[in-house]
Structure 1
Amino acid sequence: MHRPVVHRRDPRLEILTEAVVRLIPGAAPAFVTVTVTETLPGTGEQRHTWTGRPEALAQKQFTALWGRPRPAEERSPLAAAADAKRARDLAGEIGTLAAAGTALESAPWYPARRGDVVIVHYPAAGDFPAFGETYVVDDAEGGGGLLALKFVAHSAALADDEQEGYVGAFAVEAVDCPLYEAWFEAGPHLLTIVRDGRPVHVGGAG
């Protein structure tokens, strides 16, 4: 069995985004922003300013040309980086991974704490229905300030002899950041993190 895969978004939207990023040769996409200003003639005074990510500008252009893009499944950071690598886009590959790391480490709930519950969602794929996995953050055996991500349960339609090697793949024993593998491999859009009984990160929200 294989884990569900996510599909690429509309290639026209990717082309528009890339065209904006390439206005700065060699720029890392994760660190590029766009600023559009209206300057009153004769005064040099800026009246209105719009600032946003290249993706946001590309989406506005896409909508003007073809209407709103259809919702598409997101990709994990590793999957997106692999696409960039295949396209020989080194800046895109590095930028994607850097952006994912920054998003994780700048989250208001970071770092993970003992007792955090991590839920991984897997969309339906073919005839295999959607399912979820539940993990809990705990102290690593032996202490030392390290943490573990322990697999608790899953909802996959699997017989007992089919579970090994298929579920629980994101369990880790003694690391600084127990969320790292799930964040990069599954992707933040497929994760829900609960702390003290309240969700602090809901994958796919918004």
Structure 2
Amino acid sequence: MRRSEALKIITRVLRQPVDTVPTADLISGHPLAAFDPDATDRPKPWAMQVDVLALKIAAQLPLDEGVEQSPLARAEDAKRRRDLGAELAALQQGHADLTTAPWYPSRPGDLVHVHYEPVGQMASFGETYQVVAAAHGFLSMRLLCHTLPDDTEFLEGLVGCFAVDDDPDPLMELWMEAGPHRLTIVRDGRPVHIGGAR
């Protein structure tokens, strides 16, 4: 994001971080006033806890363009900014990216690998799922293996959460939540989607 756009967003939040405080005016001639055409000569002070203000500003700023996000994470980022159009666009784009991929739809025998980044004390790990035919004409996705140690705390709640039964689109939830950048999909022994590949 360009610096001028970031300054406009920060200025807007500083003028009125929440609806319950009066709008604070910038003093004309102040360097930030150039980014706010509504600035006046009458400053109206307000007080706010610094960490709360920082969270308000961070919620308004989009993440760096270089950071890959899942469609759901992009939608949540837009929701925090109260940008309904961007929220819907992120979800629609995620759906379109999956359903227009040349290897879509999933087929029995597809292997789906998902990579998870480290969180807190937990190291990065991966899961491998297999797409199989289901009883009622749809597909299921079964967990084949994972790379977490068996003595990992809360192991049952951490792995296998994207396994589905008899689903018309077994990959959709994983695609939208984990994101295509974390997935590698193998069909007939060949990768058809390599997540994170530049």
TM over 0.5: yes
Tell me the distance in 2 between the aligned counterparts of 1:116 and 1:166: 22
Unaligned runs of 5+ in 2: 7-63
More strand by share: 1
Percent sequence identity over aligned pairs: 50
1:111 aligns with 2:105: yes
Q: Which residue of 1 aligns with 2:184?
A: 192
Which of 96, 113, 117 aligns to 1:123? It is 117
Q: Give the direction of change, closer, same or farther, for the CA distance of 1:146–1:201 in structure 2 (3 Å limit).
A: same
For 1:205, what is the secondary structure of its paired residue? coil
1:147 aligns with 2:139: yes
Alignment size in residue pairs: 141
Q: TM-score, normalised by structure 2?
A: 0.66
Q: Which residue of 1 aligns with 2:68?
A: 74
Tell me the distance in 2 between the aligned counterparts of 1:157 and 1:163: 9
For 2:158, what is the secondary structure of its paired residue? coil
RMSD: 2.2
Q: Which residue of 2 aligns with 1:58?
A: none
Unaligned runs of 5+ in 1: 1-10, 17-69
Q: TM-score, normalised by structure 1?
A: 0.63
Which of 64, 89, 92 aligns to 2:86? It is 92
Runs of 4+ in 1 over 2 A off after TM superposition: 70-73
Q: Which residue of 1 aligns with 2:174?
A: 182
How far has the Cα of 1:194 moved from its partner?
Answer: 0.2
Tell me the distance in 1 between the aligned counterparts of 2:197 and 2:152: 33
Q: Describe how 1:24-35 pairs up with structure 2 within 5 A.
A: none
Deviations 1:107-150 (A, max 9, x none): 0000000000000000122332111000000011x2x3200010
Deviations 1:148-194 (A, max 9, x none): 01011100135166311110110000111110010000000000000
Tell me the distance in 1 between the aligned counterparts of 2:67 and 2:126: 17
Q: Which has the higher contact order (CA 8 A, sep 6+)?
A: 1
Q: Which residue of 2 aligns with 1:201?
A: 193
Letter in 2 for 1:157: P
Letter in 2 for 1:152: L
1:172 aligns with 2:164: yes
For 2:157, what is the secondary structure of its paired residue? coil
